[in-house]
A and B are shown apart, each in its own frame.
Chain A
Amino acid sequence: MISEIVEQRIKAAESAPPIQLEGIARDFFDGKVLRRVLKKLDLEIFAGELTIIAGPSGSGKTTLLTIMGFLLQPSEGRIFIQGREVTRFSSNRLATLRMQKIGFVFQQSVLVPALTVIDNILLPSAIQGQSVPRAVKARARELLEMLGLRDYVDAMPQQLSLGQQQRVSIVRALINDPPLLLCDEPTSALDAESSAIVLDTLKRLSLEPTRAVVLVTHDPRVFPFADRLVKIEDGAVIYDSRQGRQGVPTS
C-alpha cells in the first residue's frame, strides 16, 4: 500500500514540469534607486524540450536563470520543482536541491583548475561529503567517452581547449542525472566548430523525456536548435513560441 503511494508520488513528480515560476519578480538596489529587473514573470519549463531564453543585454535573462538555479532568491513569486514549491527552502536545502535536480553549464567553463577532469566531474556527487558510488564513476567515464573526452580523464583543465573544457562542464552538469539543465550562453567563448558540438550535445540531451534543457543566449544563430523560444525584454516575457505572445496560447 505504502509502496503504491510512493510510486504514485514519484510518477506525479516525474510528470510535473521540471520547473515552474509563478509571478517571479526581482528587485535590485543600485545604491540610489530600487530597480525591478524581473516583472512578475510566469514560466513553465517542460521536459523533453530545449528551451531558449533570448533577449538583449540587461533584459533580465541571466537573472531569471540565476533564480531558476536557486542561486538568487526572487523578491516576489513562487518556484516549483517537479510540482513541489521550494521558494521558502533554507539555503542548505536549496544547495542540496541544486546538487540533485539542476545541472549548470556556464558561459565560460568554470572548472576548478586545481582538480583533474574526473575530479571536477565527480564534484557534484560528493561535495556534501558523500563517497562517490562506483556507478557514478562509471557514468562519468561513459559520458566523457560520449563527448569524445575519453583520453582526458586525468588531465588538468588547463590542458584542454575551451571547447573541451565546456564539454567537461556538460559532463559535470549531467553527473547526477538532473531533470533540469541550465546553460548560460555556453557557446559565447567558443569557435564555430566547438559551438556546434556543444549545441548538438545539448540538443541530444534535451531529447530525453525526463530532462529539460534551458539555454540563455542573445545569439540568434542558436535559435534553430530550440524546441521552444522565449524572448525577454525589460524583465518580461514578450514572446513564447509555445503560446505566441505571452498569455495568448497558440492553437
Chain B
Amino acid sequence: MRRKTGFRILTHDRSTTAGSVLGVVAIVFLVGQQLAIMFGLFTYMSVLVDHSGADIWVLTKDVDEVNSSGSLPVRYVDRIAGLREVEWVEPLILGGGSFRSREGKYQPVQMVGLPRPRLENGPWRFDEGSLQVLLDSEGATVDSLDLKVLGYPGLLEFYEVSGRRIRISAITRNIRGFGGTIIFTNIEKAREVSGLPPGRCSHIILKVRPGSDITAVATSLRTLLPSTTVMTSPQLSASTRLFYILNTGIGSSFGFSVIIGALVGVVIITLTMYTSVLNHRRDYAVLQAIGARKRDILVVVFWQALIVGLIGVFVGFLFLAGFIAGTRNSQLPTNMPLWFPPLHAAITLVLCLLGSTQAMRKAVKVEPASVFR
C-alpha cells in the first residue's frame, strides 16, 4: 500500500512529477552527451594505437603519448626481431605536414608512414580504394570527414604536403586523430615530408607470437633498449588519453560540464520533489495520523523518487541514443563504451535519491496533529 500510495500521488500530481522526471532526463542527457563526446575524443586521441594490431610500441625516451614525433634508429628493428617471442616488427614514421589544397590553402595534417609491403598499422575502413594503393610510392589517403577542409581533393589527383608530391589514391571512412586530419602513406614519403633522416623512424611496433607473454616481452625490450620507452598497446592508449586530459583543458572542461549537468538535474529534482511534498503535506499528516511511522512515510517518498528516477533514466537514454545515432558519421565524435550506460543509470538514480532527501525530510517532519487545523 505504501508503494501504491507513492505511485498514485505521483500520477495524481502530473505536472510536478513531469518536472522531477525532467530533472532526471537532464542528468542523463546532459552528462551522457558530454561524456559521449569525451569518449569520442578519447578514441581520436589513441586511434592509431587502438587499430594498430601491434602488441608493443617502442617510442623515443620519455615520450608518453603516441602522437609525439620522435627519432629512433631503424636498426633497433633488427635487434627486436632477434627476440624469439616476436612474430613481426616494423618501423613507423608519424610526423606533421602541411597539405596544400587546389585553391592554394594550407591545412596541417598528421602523416602516418607505413613500411611496404606489410603496411602494418594502416587504415582499416575505406570509402574508396584499399590498403594496397599505399604500395605506390606516391600513394596516400585522405578521410571522408576531411574532404571539405582539404578543399575536396579528387581521387587519383596530385597534391603537395610540405612541398612533397602525393597522389590521393584512396578515401578512408571516419578515421580521425585528435590533431585532426590523418594522411596515410608509405614510410619513404612520410620521411620526406617529416624531414627525418634515412635510418631513423619515430616509432617501432611489434607483434608477439601467440602464447607469448606480452608484458614479459615488453620488460625484455626495456632491458634491451634502455634509451627508449616501451609500452604495450593498452598502456600507450591509456597513457595517450591521460596525457591529453592532463595537458589540455579537455579534462577540466568536460568535468565542469558534467558537474553542471548533474547539478542542474539534482536542483530540478530537489525543487520539484520538495514542491510535491509541500502540495501533499496534508496527505502525509493524514498517513501519520492513521498509523504510518516515519519509515513508512520515507518508503512512500523513496518509492516516488525511484519511479521518477527510472522513468527519467529511460527517457533520458532514449534522447541520448537519438543524439549518438544523429552524430554518427558526423564531425562530432561520440562513443559510448558498453560499461557506461549501466554505470550512468546507477549514478543518476543515486543522484535522484539524493535530490529527494530534502523532500523525504520534509515529509517525515510534517506534523500529524496538523490534520486537526
Chain B interface size range: 20 to 34
Q: How many residues of A contact B (CB 8 A)?
A: 34
Chain B proximity of A65: nearest CB distance (Å): 7
A114 and B13 form a contact (CB under 8 A): yes
A132 in the interface (beta carbon within 8 A): yes
Q: Hey, what's the 0/1 contact readout for A25-66 against B, CB within 8 Å counting as 1?
A: 000000000000000000000000000000000000010011
Interface residue from B5, B282, B295 paired with A110 (Cβ < 8 Å): B282
Q: How far is the CB of A125 from chain B (nearest CB, A)?
A: 8
Q: Does B296 contact A (CB under 8 A)?
A: yes
Point out the residues of chain A lying under 8 angstroms from B5, CB to CB: 112, 114-115, 119, 123, 127
Cβ of B84 within 8 Å of any chain A Cβ, yes or no, is: no
Give every chain B residue within 8 A of A62 (Cβ-Cβ): 372
Residue of A nearest to B299 (CB): A129
Closest to A65 in B: B372
- A205 contacts the other chain (CB 8 A): no
B290 to chain A, nearest CB (A): 4
Q: Is the CB of B369 within 8 A of A72?
A: yes
Chain B residues contacting A130 (CB-CB under 8 Å) are 1
Interface contact A92-B286, CB-CB below 8 Å: no
Q: In terms of DSSP, what is the predominant structure of the interface of chain B?
A: helix
Please determine whether B283 and A113 come into contact, CB atoms closer than 8 angstroms.
yes
Q: Which residues of B are found within 8 Å of A106, using beta-carbon distances? A: 371-372
The stretch of A6-14, A94-102, A217-225, A242-250 that contacts the partner chain: A94-102
Interfacial residues of chain B within 1-50, with CB under 8 A of chain A in the complex:
1-2, 4-5, 8-9, 11-13
Chain B residues, CB < 8 A from A72: 369
Q: Judge whether B294 is part of the interface by a CB distance below 8 angstroms.
A: yes
Q: Which of A92, A110, A115, A132 sits near B371, CB closer than 8 Å?
A: A110
A114 CB contact (under 8 Å) in B283, B290, B294, B369: B283
The CA of A115 and the CA of B4, in the complex, are separated in Å by 9
Q: Say yes or no for B288: interface residue by CB 8 A criterion.
A: yes
- A128 at the B interface (CB under 8 A): yes
Which residues of the other chain, A, contact B2 by a CB distance below 8 angstroms? Answer: 126-127, 129
Q: How far is A113 from B283 in the complex, measured between Cα atoms in Å?
A: 8
Contact sample, A vs B, 20 pairs, CB 8 Å cutoff: A62-B372, A66-B369, A71-B371, A98-B289, A98-B290, A99-B290, A106-B371, A110-B286, A110-B371, A111-B286, A112-B9, A113-B12, A114-B9, A119-B5, A123-B5, A127-B2, A127-B292, A128-B291, A128-B293, A129-B1
